[in-house]
Amino acid sequence: AAKDEGKNSFHFFNDQMLIDISKALELESELQTALDNDQFCLFLQPKYCLESGVLDGFEALVRWRHPEKGLIMPNHFIPQMEQGEMIFQLGRWVISHGLNIIRGLERSGLGQFKLAVNLSARQFCDDKLVDHLSACLQDMPGDRLELEITENVLIHNSELAASVMKQANDLGVTVALDDFGTGYSSLSYLRQLPVDVIKLDRSFIAPTNESEESRHIVTSVIDLAHKLNKYVVAEGVETQEHLLFLKEHNCDSAQGFLLSRPIDEHELPDVLAKGDVQKKASNYLNADVL
Ligand code: C2E
Ligand code: MG
Ligand code: MG
Ligand code: MG
């Protein structure tokens, strides 16, 4: 009987699974080293006001500067970090480091900008989050920070998430619903959460040239958001046609490769000082050009 059990367990626990587990464990320990040794960095992607063409803020996007493998994108490590508590530490670092960058830009006279950070659903379970927010915002108005959350925050522990968001709101921090339209119950979230901003997912923006249906979805979401007193940001703006369409239909703000790719934090002061990102965007947003 013991021999049979051994055989069975061999079936359920094969070599490939052992390889996967050992890879996951290796990644986990590499990620902890990365946190301890400061291997993460931020890229900041500009957001522009569509009416004025003014650069009004940045979204912080995290990358892992791996000592051997180079720059690693967030989809390769965020999911693993979300399995445990490493995401708490990373998430707090993104907030404090991101705000330090914003502070540095202001001190250098390069402008006053708002920072948006992505928050994992798991981070609402971080009992240090709210204290961290208020500590990071001590010398700055709370509305310089925006939390981008996705619709899955309410799947687990929705009461906790709503209460954390309320406390963030009390600090002046704004909340954006990211990837809007891709989740399961987008509309009910709009009623349940203290949301200030809707970020229209780029999967709706991309087909607006070819598909009338997509155009209807985009314009209806913009109208709905405005009726609810919310601000709309379009993500993934890649062509001038996208931009023209969004501007025509009163979308408030836009972000995307056409206007600017995410910029390495170390290059940002130079890029801003040269005025390149502002010039390029205002060319596109100039009414004469459109
Ligand atoms: P997201 O929050 O929806 O971020 C937008 C993603 O779209 C970014 O990818 C950005 O580089 C990309 N993007 C921006 N403009 C365009 C465009 O015009 N076309 C296309 N095709 N893509 C565009 P990235 O940096 O790889 O980030 C992917 C996702 O990883 C983010 O999606 C966000 O969910 C997550 N993420 C990034 N940074 C953090 C973080 O600090 N914490 C957490 N929890 N998640 C993060
Ligand atoms: Mg985002
Ligand atoms: Mg998004
Ligand atoms: Mg998206």
What ipTM goes with this model? 0.97
Tell how far the Cα of 117 is from the centroid of ligand 2, in angstroms: 7
What are the φ/ψ torsions at residue 262 (nearest 5 degrees)?
Answer: -60, 140
Task: Answer whether 236 contacts ligand 1 (Cβ < 6 A).
Answer: yes
Task: Answer whether 62 contacts ligand 1 (Cβ < 6 A).
Answer: yes
Task: Answer whether 46 contacts ligand 1 (Cβ < 6 A).
Answer: no
Determine the 3-state secondary structure of 13 from DSSP.
coil
Looking at the CA of residue 82, tell me the nearest atom of ligand 1: 44
Looking at the CA of residue 148, tell me the nearest atom of ligand 1: 2
The whole-angstrom distance between residue 40's C-alpha and the CA centroid of its chain comes to 16
Task: Answer whether 56 contacts ligand 1 (Cβ < 6 A).
Answer: no
Beta strands in the chain (DSSP E): 40-49, 55-66, 70-72, 114-118, 145-149, 174-180, 197-200, 231-234, 253-254, 263-264
State how far the Cα of 105 lies from the Cα of 147, in Å rounded to an integer. 20
Mean pLDDT of 214-242: 95
**Cβ distance 252 to 50 under 8 Å?**
yes
Question: What is the pLDDT at residue 278?
Answer: 86
Question: What is the pLDDT at residue 12?
Answer: 67
Question: What is the pLDDT at residue 254?
Answer: 96
- Identify the nearest ligand to the CA of 201 by its number: 4
Question: What is the pLDDT at residue 192?
Answer: 79
State how far the Cα of 137 lies from the Cα of 146, in Å rounded to an integer. 12
Tell how far the Cα of 59 is from the centroid of ligand 2, in angstroms: 7
- pLDDT confidence tier of residue 290, bands split at 50, 70 and 90: very low
**Interhelix angle 240-248/212-227, nearest 10 degrees:** 40
State how far the Cα of 246 lies from the Cα of 258, in Å rounded to an integer. 13
- pLDDT confidence tier of residue 182, bands split at 50, 70 and 90: confident
For ion ligand 4, residues whose CB falls within 5 Å: 179, 201
Per residue in 141-165, pLDDT (tens digit) is 999 999 999 877 777 778 888 899 9
Question: What is the pLDDT at residue 1?
Answer: 46
Residue 89 vs residues 29, 47, 131, 146: alpha-carbon distances, Å: 14, 26, 13, 18
Among 210, 151, 154, which Cα is nearest to 184's? 151
Mean pLDDT of 63-85: 95
Question: What is the pLDDT at residue 244?
Answer: 93
What value does the mean pLDDT of the chain take? 90
Residue nearest (by alpha carbon) to ligand 1 atom 46: 118
Per residue in 99-130, pLDDT (tens digit) is 999 999 999 999 999 999 999 989 998 999 99
Q: Is the pLDDT of residue 208 over 90?
A: no
Determine the 3-state secondary structure of 120 from DSSP.
coil
Q: How far apart are the first and last CA of the chain?
A: 78
State how far the Cα of 287 lies from the Cα of 290, in Å rounded to an integer. 5
Q: Which of 30-34, 87-91, 179-183, 267-271 has the lowest mean pLDDT?
A: 179-183
Residues whose CB falls within 8 Å of the CB of residue 175, separated by 6 or more in sequence, listed in order = 146, 147, 149, 165, 168, 169, 193, 194, 195, 196, 197
